[in-house]
Structure 1
Amino acid sequence: MSTHPRTFEFRPIGVVHTPFDDSDEAPRQGGSEADRGTVVLAEEYTAGIVGLEPGTELDVIWVADRADRDVLEARGRGVFTTRSPARPNPICVTRCTVRAISDDRRRIDLVGVDMLDESPVLDLKAPIH
């Protein structure tokens, strides 16, 4: 068995706009009502949010594209035991709450963001309850 897994390519489905320009400004974890942002979907993915409504919790899977990819330890622990965006594959998950959805279904206003402005969004998932 190979020690190296297969390689995958991901295409972002959109981008998130937030008030945070660098990691020092962004909260360490999402969830705060004060931290608001907007996911803007590429037009070809708008049908994917049919049924999404304001008040719904949503896991935003995004790329910390400006994070350090050479880090294996953060705050005295291995990065795989943390939620630090600095890691070999900086794929992040933030649980947010939907505030509003535009009529054309391209813009999803959220509360609880922790991503930097213009971070690529890979996927959106409604959590299982």
Structure 2
Amino acid sequence: MECDPIGTVHTPHETTSDAPRQGLRTDAEGTLELHEAYHEGLSGFDADRVVVVWWADRADRSVLTLDRDPSRGVFTSRSPARPNPVCLTECRVLDAAPAAGRLHLRGVDMVDGSPVVDLKATL
């Protein structure tokens, strides 16, 4: 299996403990910047919302149960701490600059500098 980042997200959250549990629960804003090779992938982008598929690169990959409720496994939650920390966050698009490969978003729950794996525009 191979998966390479397509960009990076910049947010006000410096650590995993700073980040909210879900993007829907915050008005925090951030900027998603695609690597130049992927700018063309934003051509024609006009969605109001986008699902950001990102990698929680600083998450603890050895965790299998929740700290707050050890009777629950990580697969019953949205916790980024899990064996393969693939995360999904639906964000509101405040501004899109497709030619520059940039999206200004609201509802970010990622730690600053998190790698972006994919984007899914919602209609």
TM-score by length of 1: 0.86
- 1:27-75 per-residue CA deviation (whole Å, 9 max, x = no partner) reads 110025621001100111111112222x611000000000000001113
Q: How many positions carry a matched residue from both structures? A: 120
* Distance in 1 between residues matched to 2:14 and 2:61, nearest whole Å: 19
Alignment correspondent of 2:54 = 62
When residues 73 and 33 of structure 1 are mapped into structure 2, their CA distance, relative to the original with a 3 A threshold, is closer
When residues 45 and 114 of structure 1 are mapped into structure 2, their CA distance, relative to the original with a 3 A threshold, is same
Residue identity over aligned pairs, in percent, reads 51
Ranges in structure 2 where 5+ consecutive residues have no aligned partner? none
Alignment correspondent of 2:92 = 97
Root mean square deviation, CA, Å: 1.5
Residues 1:122 and 2:117 aligned together: yes
2:20–2:26 CA contact under 8 A, matched in 1 = no
Alignment correspondent of 1:49 = 42
Report the structure, 1 or 2, having the larger helix content.
2
Residues 1:13 and 2:6 aligned together: yes
2:20 to 27, 39, 63: 27
Q: Which moved more, 1:23-32 or 1:39-48?
A: 23-32
2:63–2:82 CA contact under 8 A, matched in 1 = yes
SS of residue matched to 1:9: coil
Ranges in structure 1 where 5+ consecutive residues have no aligned partner? 1-7
Structure 1 residue runs of 4+, over 4 Å off?
Answer: none
